[in-house]
A and B are shown apart, each in its own frame.
Chain A
């Protein structure tokens, strides 16, 4: 039972807003000791875990090209492009992106999106451009931060609740492996993947609604679309 203290440590550390990387490392060391692993075994576990998880950091490979096109005005062009697509508000754009992210992840193409390769260079500038078009100078730094956060969330929720529909993914194999060994069942990975679909639909509806609601929140934060837009509408 003591080993669960490690989980508690993560919760407390995150709640106190300590540096997450340090919290996670300390929680790992503490859990190892509580689980009666020797110091050597803990170091080995860190080493093996880190080596076999390198795939999640592979997104770094796209940073050079993203940085390069940013230098030449990619984000600016994203804002300009969205400026011409009047019907796409920040919220609607993000719902659309979440849907695409979820569907592509469900067919096993997780690396298509991600904070590094899609959100920062394309989705966030477009979401911000849509807000700038609508609210003009009322887009303050806190509005920008809000849009950044929601842009990242559209990506994360999309991929998280999409990838489990794809059979050959680590989490599905983990679920079947754990349940089979702990409860003596024989789960079919395909069934686990199939039953991830209702969850995925719920996630899309729930987070999609939050994203659409973002437009209303931005209305409140900026006290509504700018004057010249309302003039245009009344003409």
Chain B
């Protein structure tokens, strides 16, 4: 049984006096296996949050089928709610005037927890997310990262089997984001299935075994993270570092086994060679080594490069 099985999901937002009808999701199909971290990628407005809300029973689908651990979101919402934990990004969603512990006690009680069990789970979770020392402090004094960790603890209070995380590290500083990713890895190690909506490609690359890329409400890529680049028809390539040698770069571009030589976004002096054929990779290595370019290494385009190639042309427009 799949943790999440979305088939041909369409969600329309009806026309209002001020807005036209919007198709937020158009025939979307996504599958998340049990125990997997699946990345849901896409630019702002792509439909990621709408999908997460439908799967977590906050929104109803217009058409299509959505099942979570075999339960249908439209007709078995209550069963799903017992099994899933939801963490929406941002600072909203908490009672900021009361303490972190009080927040966990409240949300835990909504899942039928009470008494010593609720108290011990709350304490354990606060410890786990590093907020034990701030358990009695009003949440309004917390930093964004602390609030996000409290959100994660809230989402875990009933020990869900499936978790939906919607941009959980949005706005966090790099250190806090790194720690948060560590927590997500721990959750996966415990056997939980996780759907992670993000537009942080590095995060997706480091956490997700598979990814689905959505743009304008449509799936434009769904694959294992490690091999996602192949949908672009991009072969293995060679990365190397070379500074101030335009002549060598020009010579490399002129080789019959080279399809392209491009400077990488990673920084000055970082180059990527894509061979014409998959067998051309040996020739590229040989050619570079003969010229003492010892930094050459095999590579595949990163998820970020795939993402930029697929949706990057839109610039700032939605």
The answer to whether A binds B is no
**B interface residues with partner A (beta carbon < 8 Å):** none
